Amino acid sequence: MRPGERAYPVARLLYNPRFDALAPLAIAYCAGPEDVARSIAFARDHAFEIAVRSGGHSYGGYSSGSGHLVIDVTPIAGVVPASAPGRTAVVGSGARLIDVYNVLGTHGQLVPGGSCPTVGIAGLTLGGGVGVFARRYGLAADNLAAVTLVTADAQVLRCSPEHDEALFWACRGGGGGNFGVATSFEFATHALPPITLFTYDFAWSAAHDVLGEWQDWSRTVNEAVWSNCQLLSGAGTSLRVAGVSCAHSGQTAAWLAPLLTRLPAPTYSFLGDETYVNEMMVESGCSGLTVAACHLDTTFPHGALSRQAFTASSNYVSAPMGANRLSAAVTAVDRLAADLPGLGGGLVFDALGGAVNAVSPTETAFVHRRYLASIQSSFNWTAATPMRTVAAGARWLEHVRATVYDPSTGAYQNYIDPTLTNFAEAYYGENLARLRAVKRAIDPDDVFRFAQSIRP
Ligand SMILES: Cc1cc2nc3c(=O)[nH]c(=O)nc-3n(C[C@H](O)[C@H](O)[C@H](O)COP(=O)(O)OP(=O)(O)OC[C@H]3O[C@@H](n4cnc5c(N)ncnc54)[C@H](O)[C@@H]3O)c2cc1C
């Protein structure tokens, strides 16, 4: 698809309208590894830059670029369930998360993923993939059994622990767009567990205490329980502890009791058993929609979800935060609500530990294995928001970084952050040298490059 074609103005769009100015030379919709190989060869012959696109959710807009050939794997979207839970499912690299959940879920299987339904399986898995089942079953990348990748010299490689092991290692957390174009993923599946959803809202005045108690509870509770603590600004401030447990509601309530007895009475509470696909629809913000509607309206004919402009950054919590850091987190959200009431956003603390930390930091390329939680700070806006307000939001994020973050813990490569100067160390830590060695071996000419790619 090229500029001038009727569908091009929409086809070039990514999830985040921040990147709407990007105008690729062409988009090559690839139906299989052969198409990908021809596209790479064509781009190299004509000295075009390549951008690789699956779900188009890159926080840095790195799956497009003006003057680039976009290699789009959306047509490679098949999801083939395992013959039985516990065996291997095959997922095309253009599949969106909600389709993976729906197809596998209706066969009694799951692969742990992320929360946003429209995210692509490729970007998610290559950068790790953290979601509500991570404490129980690990990252998406931890469940990868093999990945098929088209390399810069247009070879099709099936990488696994037995073949091209170094590249397989790099594809489990080394980040999308660095080593080649993934065309399919083979995942170990899990039988569906019982599932309970829970949500507790509290008065904002309790934010310091709730966050403090939550961080102590969330790292010690049974690994079947995943949760987050959300300090948000929208119309005022709001405070929520929400989560998912791989157990029935009675057992989950017992696991929650030590936390709830230490907190003030919630202003809203919900705890209930749920089925897997419904649970993922709820997590996805798709309650009341069909699966077909739980897609972006720009990319899918029946999609009912809209794109969203946002900016975000991330960090990790290595040990329980002391009173000063807790206060800084609460103050930052107070400040967002008071100074920039037109912006939604805030700080979300997602529990880690459990199966994520049972893997050593060097066993896969995903290095962030010693932390009790991640922090994602973000703000979002609409087309009506003045650009000076967006600029003030960016300054607010800098304030969060300076007052709440621990620079020694790094940042999540899937929340890729164009403002980070030490990005390679922040995303990959002690795995960086080995990732560079893999890059030198597989892509010595640096064909797959973008502003924050791994350099050979
Ligand atoms: C609303 C929202 C919610 C999110 N929630 C979560 C979450 O719960 N958990 C989580 O872990 N992450 C989450 N993320 C982050 C998400 O995992 C990353 O943004 C991810 O990179 C998106 O993948 P994508 O395929 O959709 O995006 P793309 O923009 O298509 O790709 C992202 C990167 O991967 C590369 N890439 C894409 N396809 C391929 C391919 N086939 N082969 C090789 N490289 C490829 C791109 O070039 C780009 O550099 C969320 C993001 C958003 C916007």
- pLDDT tens-digit profile of 104-153? 999 999 999 998 999 999 999 999 999 999 999 999 999 999 999 999 99
Which of 31, 47, 72 marks a domain boundary? Answer: 72
Give the residue among 315, 352, 364 at the shortest CA–CA distance from 131. Answer: 352
Q: Is residue 216 a part of any domain in this protein?
A: yes
Residues 200, 267 within the same domain: yes
Q: Distance between CA atoms of 349 and 375, rounded to whole angstroms?
A: 5
Q: Please list, residue by residue across 245-268, b when 16 or more beta carbons sit within 10 angstroms of its beta carbon and e when fewer do.
A: bbbebebbeebbeebbeebeebee
Give the pLDDT confidence score for residue 283 in this predicted structure. Answer: 87
Q: Is residue 451 a part of any domain in this protein?
A: no
Q: Is residue 136 a part of any domain in this protein?
A: yes
Residues 378, 396 within the same domain: yes
Q: Is residue 377 within 8 Å of residue 328, measured between CB atoms?
A: no
Residues 22, 168 within the same domain: no
Q: What CATH number did the domain enclosing 406 receive?
A: 3.40.462.20
> What are the backbone dihedrals phi and psi of residue 390, each rounded to the nearest 5 degrees, phi first?
-65, -40
Section 94-103 average pLDDT: 97
Residues 200, 223 within the same domain: yes
Q: Is residue 295 a part of any domain in this protein?
A: no
Ligand 1 midpoint to CA 321 (Å): 29
Residues 356, 237 within the same domain: yes
Residues 95, 219 within the same domain: no
Residues 120, 214 within the same domain: no
Q: Is the CB of 296 under 6 A from ligand 1?
A: no
Cα four-point dihedral sign 447, 453, 455, 456: negative
Q: Is the CB of 63 under 6 A from ligand 1?
A: yes
Give the pLDDT confidence score for residue 284 in this predicted structure. Answer: 87
Confidence tier at 296 by pLDDT (50, 70, 90): very high
Ligand 1 midpoint to CA 240 (Å): 26
Q: Is the CB of 113 under 6 A from ligand 1?
A: no
Q: Is the CB of 439 under 6 A from ligand 1?
A: no
Q: Is the CB of 117 under 6 A from ligand 1?
A: no
Per cent of the chain over pLDDT 70 is 100
Which of 17, 38, 72 marks a domain boundary? Answer: 72
Largest Cα separation within the chain, whole Å, is 66
Ligand 1 midpoint to CA 396 (Å): 24
Q: Is the CB of 351 under 6 A from ligand 1?
A: no
The number of domains in the chain is 3
Q: Is residue 285 a part of any domain in this protein?
A: no
Q: What CATH number did the domain enclosing 42 receive?
A: 3.30.43.10
Section 166-178 average pLDDT: 98
Q: Is residue 63 within 8 Å of residue 81, measured between CB atoms?
A: no
Ligand 1 midpoint to CA 124 (Å): 5
> What are the backbone dihedrals phi and psi of residue 240, each rounded to the nearest 5 degrees, phi first?
-145, 140
Of ligand 1's atoms, which has the minimum distance to the CA of residue 93? 41
Q: Distance between CA atoms of 204 and 329, rounded to whole angstroms?
A: 13
Per cent of the chain over pLDDT 90 is 97
The 10s digit of each residue's pLDDT in 338-361 is: 999 889 999 999 999 999 999 999
Mean pLDDT, the chain, whole residue set = 97
Give the pLDDT confidence score for residue 235 in this predicted structure. Answer: 82
Section 153-180 average pLDDT: 97
Section 299-313 average pLDDT: 96
The 10s digit of each residue's pLDDT in 217-252 is: 999 999 999 999 999 998 899 999 999 999 999 999
For a pocket test of ligand 1, which of 57, 132, 313 has the largest count of ligand atoms closer than 8 A to its C-beta? 57
Q: Is residue 448 a part of any domain in this protein?
A: no
Q: What CATH number did the domain enclosing 136 receive?
A: 3.30.465.10
Residues 328, 206 within the same domain: yes
Of ligand 1's atoms, which has the minimum distance to the CA of residue 52? 47
Section 310-320 average pLDDT: 97
Q: Is the CB of 453 under 6 A from ligand 1?
A: no
Residues 32, 97 within the same domain: no
Ligand 1 midpoint to CA 253 (Å): 34
Q: Please list, residue by residue across 354-387, b when 16 or more beta carbons sit within 10 angstroms of its beta carbon and e when fewer do.
A: bbbbebebeebbbbbbbbbbbbbbbbbbeeebee
Residues 312, 399 within the same domain: yes
Give the pLDDT confidence score for residue 115 in this predicted structure. Answer: 87
Which of 25, 41, 72 marks a domain boundary? Answer: 72
pLDDT at residue 14 greater than cutoff 90:
yes
pLDDT at residue 433 greater than cutoff 90:
yes
Q: Is residue 54 a part of any domain in this protein?
A: yes
Of ligand 1's atoms, which has the minimum distance to the CA of residue 61? 29
Q: Is the CB of 127 under 6 A from ligand 1?
A: yes
Q: Is the CB of 134 under 6 A from ligand 1?
A: no
Q: Is residue 3 a part of any domain in this protein?
A: no
Section 162-182 average pLDDT: 98
Section 447-451 average pLDDT: 98
Helix pair angle (323-339, 387-403), 10° resolution: 170
Q: Is the CB of 243 under 6 A from ligand 1?
A: no
Residues 258, 375 within the same domain: yes
Could you tell me which residues are beta bridge partners of residue 231?
A: 239, 347
Q: Residue 58 is part of which domain span?
A: 8-72
Give how far Cα 39 sits from Cα of 64, 68, 148, 418, Å.
15, 12, 16, 27
Q: Is the CB of 92 under 6 A from ligand 1?
A: no
Residues 199, 221 within the same domain: yes
Give how far Cα 384 sits from Cα of 317, 398, 417, Å.
35, 23, 24
Which amino acid appears at position 118 of this protein? T
Confidence tier at 380 by pLDDT (50, 70, 90): very high
Q: Is the CB of 375 under 6 A from ligand 1?
A: no
Confidence tier at 275 by pLDDT (50, 70, 90): very high
CA angle 193, 199, 203 (to 5 degrees): 160
29 burial (CB, 10 Å; 0-12 / 13-18 / 19+) is middle
Q: Is the CB of 356 under 6 A from ligand 1?
A: no
